[in-house]
Structure 1
Amino acid sequence: MDITQLETLIENNQLEEIVALLSQKPSLATQLTSHQISPMLLACYYKKMDIANAIVEFMPELSIFDACAVGKFDDVTLLVFKNPKIVNEYSVDGFTPLGLACYFGHEEIARFLVLKGAEVNLPSKNGFNVFPIHSAVASNNYNIAKMLLDAGAYPNVCQKSGVAPLHSAAQLGNIEMIILLLEHGAEVTLRMEGGKLPADLAADKGFNEIAEILRDDD
């Protein structure tokens, strides 16, 4: 029941209660949740970074995936130094260290991982087929997206449902990201499952000027 209780507290954003519980039973911080990931990583997925950082204080060590998610650069560098091949391994829920760093917006860690040989075109292995470039664009992180593209990330890869990076950027109305992707060869003619183009998604969100830019005139 204890780990279930901790999960519930994380979901309900009860920071003080979490600290009190872990103070009594610090071993809970290293138990796997029902999602088969650490409580800290679960907090990250819920975008509750204050809780994630609080849980870290009760963890004797972090995995490379935990460290990339919560943004602990020193832990990442030490783990990679000890085992360089770890940069392209997969977490239990199917993500690479680079994928997690990109999703949670940790630019310094993402750059370090690429420098140390992280493959920028390695998708998640969990049925979603999410590439690091998808995560960077979806989180509106221009700097990470540019770094990935400059390092050879493919601009037209599709995740589940046929969503390409340009679809996400169009739906978010991020003109800088759109221009970046187009400069690196993103195709405006890619259709998602169901047939929608990036221009259609922009129009659906009311970004009519962006939709016009993305229309294929040929």
Structure 2
Amino acid sequence: MKKVCILILFLSFNVVFSQNTNCFDIARKGSLAEMKSLFEKDKSIVNAVDENGSSMLILACYRGNHEVAKFLMNQNADLNYNSKNGTALMACVVKGQYQLVDELISKKANLDLTDANGTTALMLAVQFKNVEMVKILVAAGANKALKCKQNKTAFEYAVFSNNEEIINLLK
């Protein structure tokens, strides 16, 4: 009897582990149909977090899996979930995912959350010298006065980068 219980426990663990692995793989590079199929089986996975602390939405945004990211947003994924590496918005900014940034802004994602270093999405856009992303975030109301843990604002990062266009956007 003890062996049967251990076997059942082992098989249950493998099923749960493989399901979570699949959902994160699908978030990264899977299709919308795969995500919908997985979601039909278990809606509670919408805010699942992987072993690195990233949500499926962050992974989909970082990898540019637009359809899956939009699906997760429409299924009430936590837009403001903040991993040690930041939020879905930050992932989009780093990877230049303009459509997903627009989608997150339209769904009222918090523009001013910070990662573990106190860096905001606007600061990341400045650091990556992405003028268009800076324009989008400033127009959406990102707080230009916030300071990171190094006590720098987005403007100070812009001055350091010597990018006149970004400096002028942040004045």
**Taking structure 1 as the reference length, what is the TM-score of the superposition?**
0.66
Q: More deviation in 171-180 or 152-161?
A: 171-180
Q: 1:109 aligns with which of 68, 72, 82?
A: 68
- In structure 1, the partner of 2:126 is 170
1:62 positional shift = 5.7
Counterpart mapping for 1:55-70 below 5 A = 63-70=22-29
C-alpha RMSD of matched pairs (Å): 1.8
Determine what percentage of the aligned residue pairs are the same residue.
Answer: 28
- In structure 1, the partner of 2:95 is 139
1:74 positional shift = 2.3
- In structure 2, the partner of 1:206 is 162
- In structure 1, the partner of 2:153 is 197
User: Is the CA contact (8 Å cut-off) linking 1:172 and 1:202 kept in structure 2?
Assistant: no
| Partner SS for 1:167 | helix
1:79 positional shift = 0.7
- In structure 2, the partner of 1:44 is none
Task: Name segments (4+ residues, structure 1) moved above 3 Å.
Answer: none
1:113 positional shift = 0.7
- In structure 1, the partner of 2:45 is 86
User: Is the CA contact (8 Å cut-off) linking 1:69 and 1:104 kept in structure 2?
Assistant: yes
Gaps of 5+ in 2: 1-17
Q: Which has the higher helix share?
A: 2
Q: Distance in 2 between matches of 1:75 and 1:133?
A: 23
Q: 2:80 aligns with which of 116, 121, 133?
A: 121
User: Is the CA contact (8 Å cut-off) linking 2:32 and 2:67 kept in structure 1?
Assistant: yes
Counterpart mapping for 1:38-57 below 5 A = none
1:75 paired with 2:31, answer: no
1:118 positional shift = 0.9
- What CA deviation, in whole Å up to 9, does each residue of 1:175-209 have, x standing for no partner? 22112111222011111111211122223223122
**Taking structure 2 as the reference length, what is the TM-score of the superposition?**
0.83
- Give the paired residue count: 153
- What CA deviation, in whole Å up to 9, does each residue of 1:116-156 have, x standing for no partner? 121111112xxx15111111111111111110111110011
Q: Which has the higher contact order (CA 8 A, sep 6+)?
A: 2
Q: Distance in 1 between matches of 2:75 and 2:143?
A: 30
Structure 1 pair 65–111 and aligned structure 2 pair: CA distance change class (3 A): same
User: Is the CA contact (8 Å cut-off) linking 2:131 and 2:165 kept in structure 1?
Assistant: no
User: Is the CA contact (8 Å cut-off) linking 1:199 and 1:212 kept in structure 2?
Assistant: no
Q: 1:150 aligns with which of 90, 97, 106?
A: 106
